Amino acid sequence: MTGGRLHLQALRLALVAACALPAAASAAQLDGATLSTAWGVPFAGLLLSIALLPLLAPAFWHRHFGKVTAAWALAFLLPFATRFGPGAAAAGVMHALLAEYLPFVILLTALYTVAGGIHIRADLRGTPAVNTALLAVGAALASVMGTTGASMLLIRPLLRANAHRTHRAHVVVFFIFIVSNAGGALTPLGDPPLFLGFLKGVDFFWTVTHIGPQTLWLVGMLLVVFHALDAWQLRRDPAAMTAPAPAPAPAPASAGATPRRVRIGFDGRINFVLLALAVSLVLTSGVWKSPLAWNVAGTTVGLPGLVRDVGLVGVTLLSLALTPRGVHAANQFSWAPMQEVAKLFAGIFVTIVPVIAMLQAGAAGPFGAVLAAVTRPDGLPDTAAYFWATGLLSSFLDNAPTYLVFFNTAGADPVALMTVMAPTLAAISAGAVFMGANTYIGNAPNLMVKAIAEDRGVKMPSFFGYMLWSFGILVPLFVAMTFVWFR
């Protein structure tokens, strides 16, 4: 099933449910204080499945991840509908679908499609200066086209540029640190957790003004460390220093370009225009205020969000129609990663419903201990605790639902979080985005980049071998960041 069909099917199901279950519109707000922690088991089980099954049973996971996700979703929905009635269950699912899931997946699909429609041809030679420059460019692009889009756009040119070198794994590791994670911290377009915050009411430019300095410092420090390490690795590989520069990737036959040796070139340039259109749609939906809205099964669907989502679907379809087939072939474009994300997050957004309700209950709810752990004795939020708690969970679970968990733990009031509690929201945002780089499973692009690198002959570190890199390089930087910004 393609990503476009997946969206249409989900939307169709939403409309059917809205018409068939009018009782959902009047369902009472779920009171998290009345729930037990057992209602969080399906959510925890799904996240643990995502974290562990690709490592313990990769063949099984690859074939059945959709069934595993559906099983955990039903493990929540069936008991919930029995206990609270189908109306309450439908109301929760419809809110998760219309208010969060569909906008989330539609944006990711648009950025993924646009990035997959741009092919870079280059004869770059992987020197420390060139590699550092590519990582810096990737960091800048990550906040515009998303960490997944920037990673898919630049990892193949980077690997081609370094094909003549013996020691290449460190280049890919730092690419994951910088492009697949830290670089996406400046806008809601950059990383899924920040877009979820945007959907919850956080201003589009709030992130760049409040964790911009931290992002620039972290990326800058990583680039300095990388350049020094890359120069040392190159000195260990004398043959690579005299090897000829790699030939540029040939232009796709259907792209209309004549084969010639160029320093750098792009095929599928129309996608740059479509990327600008996607950015404009998201930005406009954040600043455009309209009283026009519709109540769909108890969920308010506003005109700005609807225009954004319809426009992003249009961007996706235009990219597919206007991108030459040869460009997709050169990029090895496939819907498989997007299908996996769409299915997994459908389950995440359903099973997280009771978890969010319990967190919103505060000290009176079953997760009062979580709130106490990130609260100082004087009753104020412990910024450092929020940073590390969000970050450590984002390292081993998915950083998007982790962000939601602590966003709700902090009160879920976007106005308060952007003003009087700004340090807390900054800590949550930074922890979710930055520490997604601590393991291969912390952020979706990490495993995608690893798989592409290994397919091109790069011997990547194991799961725990990668953690030696991240804990040796990233964690000291996070400790320093804590003392400077999150005390």
Note the pLDDT tens digit of each residue in 428-478.
Answer: 999 999 999 998 877 878 877 887 888 778 888 887 889 999 999 999 999
User: What percentage of the chain has pLDDT greater than the value 70?
Assistant: 88
The residue among 153, 322, 327, 332 whose CA lies nearest residue 252 is 327
Alpha helical stretches, state H, 288-352: 303-322, 325-330, 336-351
Residue 419 has pLDDT above 90, yes or no: yes
Using pLDDT thresholds of 50, 70 and 90, give the confidence band for residue 263. Answer: low
Strand-pair category, 119-122 with 264-267: antiparallel
Per cent of the chain over pLDDT 90 is: 33
Task: Give the C-alpha distances (Å, rounded to integers) separating 180 from 22, 55, 141, 282.
Answer: 43, 20, 10, 21
Beta strands 119-122; 299-302: pairing state: unpaired
Of residues 91 and 437, the one with the higher pLDDT is 437
The residue whose two tokens read 């939020």 is 381
Q: Give the integer Cα–Cα distance in Å for 381 and 58.
A: 40
CA pair distance 294, 297, nearest whole angstrom? 10
Model confidence at 251, pLDDT cuts 50, 70, 90, reads low
Burial of 251 (0-12, 13-18, 19+ CB in 10 A): buried
Tell whether the model's pLDDT for residue 237 goes beyond 90: no
State the pLDDT confidence band at 391, using cuts at 50, 70 and 90. Answer: very high
267 burial via Cβ count (<10 Å: 0-12, 13-18, 19+): buried
3-state secondary structure of 314: helix
**Cα 475–476–480 angle (5° rounding)?**
115
DSSP state of 205: T
| Per-residue pLDDT reduced to its tens digit, 300-349 | 788 888 899 999 999 999 999 999 988 888 877 888 777 877 888 888 88
Decide: helix, strand or coil at residue 440: coil
142: its two tokens: 């990550």
Residue 129: count other Cβ atoms within 10 Å of its Cβ.
12
Q: Do 328 and 322 touch, CB atoms closer than 8 A? A: no
> What does the pLDDT read at residue 23?
33
- C-alpha distances in Å from residue 120, one per residue of 107, 169, 328: 23, 22, 12
The pLDDT of residue 212 is: 94
Altogether, the residues listed in the chain come to a count of 487
pLDDT tens column, 353-383? 888 788 777 777 787 787 788 888 888 899 9
Q: What is the pLDDT of residues 157-207, one digit of tens each?
A: 898 889 888 888 999 999 999 999 999 999 988 888 898 898 888 998 999
16-74 pLDDT per residue, tens: 333 333 333 333 467 777 888 899 899 889 888 887 887 788 889 888 989 999 999 99
* 211 pLDDT more than 90: yes
Which DSSP state fits 352? T
